[in-house]
Amino acid sequence: MELPPDNLYGMTPAAAREYIAAYISTKLLNEKKLAELEGSLSKWTDRAALARSKGIEDLAAAADVEIARISGDRDKLGTETQELSAQIDTMRRQLPGLSARERSIDPDLLEQELLIAAGRTPGDEAEQSAVDAERKLASLEKHTAADDQLAALKERLAKNEGDDQK
């Protein structure tokens, strides 16, 4: 699914402003060309009137053909310019939303700051894994030693009870 050209979704605010500026410059160029076409249309209309006033109908007919061509170009360019204006207005209304959607928190930076706050060194994840593994093994050894001592104590108690019963 392709987005319409006036949809700024996914652009940064700076890129969107550049994009809108390109549309505005195209609109301004179109308006300049429209003014030139209006001038040309006026000139050919005067020429057609002059040819008719002098009774030169074939020259007037040629001027009328040129007038029709220029009018068609003017109408097409006028429609395009109006569409550009509408698209520019639509895009300008989207600019505040782009700023609001822009991420203000960098998740990678936040992760690094959390590691620092936890007393770890960012980037030393492999080293940290070794430290974590060593901690877990030390804890396991401690619990195993405690279990062994408890078993030895139970054995002595059982032996003492057996000696007391004799």
Site of tokens 């700023």: 99
Cα 16 from chain centroid (whole Å): 9
pLDDT value at 158 more than 90: no
Range from 25-29, 34-38, 52-56, 154-158 carrying the lowest mean pLDDT: 154-158
131 and 93 assigned to the same domain: no
- Residue 72 CA to residue 53 CA, distance in Å, equals 25
* Total number of domains constituting the chain: 2
Exposed (0-12), middle (13-18) or buried (19+): which is 132, by Cβ within 10 Å?
exposed
Whether residue 30 is contained in a domain is answered as: yes
Domain around 37: 13-102
Q: Are 86 and 74 in contact (CB under 8 A)?
A: no
Residue 66: what pLDDT?
A: 95
Report residue 103's pLDDT band, with 50, 70 and 90 as the boundaries.
low
- Mean pLDDT (the chain) is 86
Whether residue 7 is contained in a domain is answered as: no
Residue 40: what pLDDT?
A: 96
> Which residues, 6+ apart, have CB-to-CB distance to 136 below 8 Å?
none
94 and 146 assigned to the same domain: no
More confident residue, 2 or 94: 94
